[in-house]
């Protein structure tokens, strides 16, 4: 399975500001959106295109386009919605689903409380959005739910990832590609990513 870690000076620069505890809610939210755009750009570089004809102000020509109806984006609530705007800007006609989960503070396992996706989700390539791949529990459960709906092609986009979470996702879903801007060092005893960036949901929505 591929784990694609984006390596680019602009990514490193924006990620450095994102990690800084002094970065405020507005800037944090904007940076999450911008990094999501970069992840989507990379994740869709092999997207299938079809040929069609357009007319420029000068002449007719054949061009290649992406069939946006073949894609769906599924953020994991609530932090994943912070990535959505940056991705919709690239593929505005893609359909959107949602997976709602919360983490049990004792077991660190996710509990699903909401799942709503397009009826024809099985005909689409799905990109799951979650800023943090920590233990891997939320991502694995989201993938399970989508596969139960018949989805065949899934990619997982996250801002930062822990080696432990990557390992678990590889073991359970080796067919799912992971795209991230950074593979961090480890998880601490509370299952937070180190060095990480804190709680992405709280920082996106300013709830702490």
Q: What are the residue numbers of the active site? A: 103, 107, 199, 202
**Token output for 147:** 């596969």
Burial class (CB in 10 A: 0-12, 13-18, 19+), 195: exposed
Pick from 81, 66, 65, 82: which is nearest to 31 by CA? 82
Length of the chain as a residue count: 208
If one counts every other C-beta atom within 10 angstroms of the C-beta of residue 106, the result is 6
**Token output for 170:** 């590889």
d(C-alpha 80, C-alpha 204), whole Å:
10
Query: What phi and psi, each to the nearest 5 degrees, are found at residue 192?
Result: -100, 145
Q: Which residues pair with 3 in a beta bridge?
A: 178
d(C-alpha 54, C-alpha 42), whole Å:
26
Q: Which residue has the tokens 């709280």?
A: 202
d(C-alpha 84, C-alpha 141), whole Å:
20
């Amino acid at each position: 399975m591929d784990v694609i870690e984006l390596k680019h000076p602009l990514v490193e620069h924006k990620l450095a500001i994102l990690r800084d505890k002094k970065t405020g809610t507005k800037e944090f939210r904007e940076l999450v959106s911008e990094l999501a755009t970069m992840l989507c750009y990379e994740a869709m570089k092999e997207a299938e295109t079809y040929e069609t004809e357009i007319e420029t102000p000068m002449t007719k020509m054949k061009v290649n386009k992406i069939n946006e109806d073949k894609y769906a984006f599924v953020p994991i609530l609530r932090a994943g919605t912070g990535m959505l705007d940056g991705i919709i800007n690239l593929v505005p006609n893609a359909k959107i689903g949602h997976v709602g989960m919360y983490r049990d503070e004792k077991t660190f396992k996710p509990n699903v409380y909401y799942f709503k996706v397009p009826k024809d989700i099985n005909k689409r390539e799905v990109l799951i959005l979650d800023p943090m791949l920590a233990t891997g529990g939320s991502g694995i459960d989201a993938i399970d739910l989508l596969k139960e709906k018949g989805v065949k092609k899934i990619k997982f986009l996250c801002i930062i990832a822990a080696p432990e979470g990557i390992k678990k996702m590889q073991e359970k879903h080796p067919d799912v590609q992971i795209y991230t801007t950074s593979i961090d060092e480890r998880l601490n005893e509370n299952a937070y990513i180190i060095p990480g960036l804190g709680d992405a949901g709280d920082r996106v929505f300013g709830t702490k």
